[in-house]
Amino acid sequence: MDTIVLFIVNRICKFYTSSIRIMVSAGVGAGWSLFVVVYRMQARLLIDIGTYVVISYVMIRICAKGKRGKEVMQGIAALYAVTASLGGVMYVLYYETAGWFIWYIVVREKEMIVLAVSAVIIVIMLYRQLLWVREYASCMCQFCCVVGGERIQIPGYIDSGNVLTDPYFEKPVSIVQKQYFENVLKENIQKEKLKYHIIPFHSLGCEQGMLEVIIVDAIHIQCGKHFKVIQGACVGLTTQTLSSDGMYSALIPAAYAPTKMVG
């Protein structure tokens, strides 16, 4: 159950963590439960603190590698919400439908049924995760735009099809969903500092159009153990959603693909 909950939390919070980390995190929760049962802990307050504070934090921390405190707290809140929601769904299915009849009348070997259902769910999740890895993982990256003193973190995707070049500055253009820069672009004076301009393009599902572009101080791109820093990079701002499943919000040109190892 912990594994299912963490997979859902991972999608909601967009941690983009691996299935291995999710399994390790679920193992921590299962290990704590086993410890409580084996040693027959009677201190109810200690158990509650360990379960709802310490273990919950550790589980989310494992999934949310590199995330800040606020994002970790959001993950913990999502963990509570998903757990409560699944508990409610199971309650309704059991008591408000024919679930109780199936459980007590139809099903005789209950342990085998639970094992079979759990196995099917796990296989489906692993298969979906494998498809995701094959489609996205090798090109997914952490994309950070530095603007003044502000660092804007955006989930990115190295797109070999993005060959857009700024005709004025003769630089490749990374395309980002505009909402990430709403605060930066509030004042016209800020637009001047960022060399705000508009360029023509022939992509993003359109035959032709115009794209807003700014020059940021730098962009930091990290894919696994590889990273790259580009000073004075061009960033195009689009109002379109770049990923239908919300897995990324920036398309980075292949020319900016990181090659240098971290550390």
Q: 149 and 255 share a domain?
A: yes
Q: 74 and 133 share a domain?
A: no
Domain count, the chain: 3
**Confidence band of 226 (pLDDT split at 50, 70, 90):** confident
Q: Please compute the mean of the pLDDT values over residues 71-98 and round it to a whole number.
A: 71
Q: 164 and 88 share a domain?
A: no
User: Domain span at residue 124?
Assistant: 109-137
Rounded Cα distance between 93 and 171, Å, is: 57
Q: 181 and 120 share a domain?
A: no
> In the listed set 118, 137, 156, which residue is the last one of a domain according to the structure?
137
**Which pLDDT does position 191 carry in this prediction?**
63
Q: 157 and 253 share a domain?
A: yes
Rounded Cα distance between 111 and 129, Å, is: 27
Q: 74 and 124 share a domain?
A: no
> In the listed set 98, 120, 137, which residue is the last one of a domain according to the structure?
137
DSSP secondary structure of the chain: -HHHHHHHHHHHHT----HHHHHHHHHHHHHHHHHHHHTT---HHHHHHIIIIIIHHHHHHHHTTT--HHHHHHHHHHHHHHHHHHHHHHHHHHHSSTHHHIIIII-S-HHHHHHHHHHHHHHHHHHHHHHHIIIIITTEEEEEEEETTEEEEEEEEEETT---EETTTTEEEEEEEGGGGTTTTSSHHHHHHTT-EEEEES-TTSSSEEEEEEE-SEEEEEETTEEEEEET-EEEEESS-S-TTSS-SEEEEGGG---EEP-
Mean pLDDT rounded to a whole number for the chain: 77
Q: Please compute the mean of the pLDDT values over residues 7-17 and round it to a whole number.
A: 75
Rounded Cα distance between 189 and 11, Å, is: 38
Query: Does 19 or 251 have the greater pLDDT score?
Result: 251
> In the listed set 83, 106, 129, which residue is the last one of a domain according to the structure?
106
Q: 176 and 225 share a domain?
A: yes
Assess whether pLDDT exceeds 90 at residue 46: no
Q: 133 and 182 share a domain?
A: no
Q: 164 and 129 share a domain?
A: no
Selection from 242, 262, 258 nearest residue 250 by Cα: 242
Give the CATH number of the domain where residue 152 resides. 2.40.70
| CB atoms near residue 219 (< 10 Å) | 25
Q: 17 and 37 share a domain?
A: yes
What are the φ and ψ backbone dihedral angles of 254, each rounded to 5 degrees? -60, -25
pLDDT digits (tens, 9 = 90+) for 129-184: 666 666 666 788 889 999 877 888 888 888 888 888 898 899 999 999 988 888 77
Q: 26 and 116 share a domain?
A: no
Q: 102 and 113 share a domain?
A: no
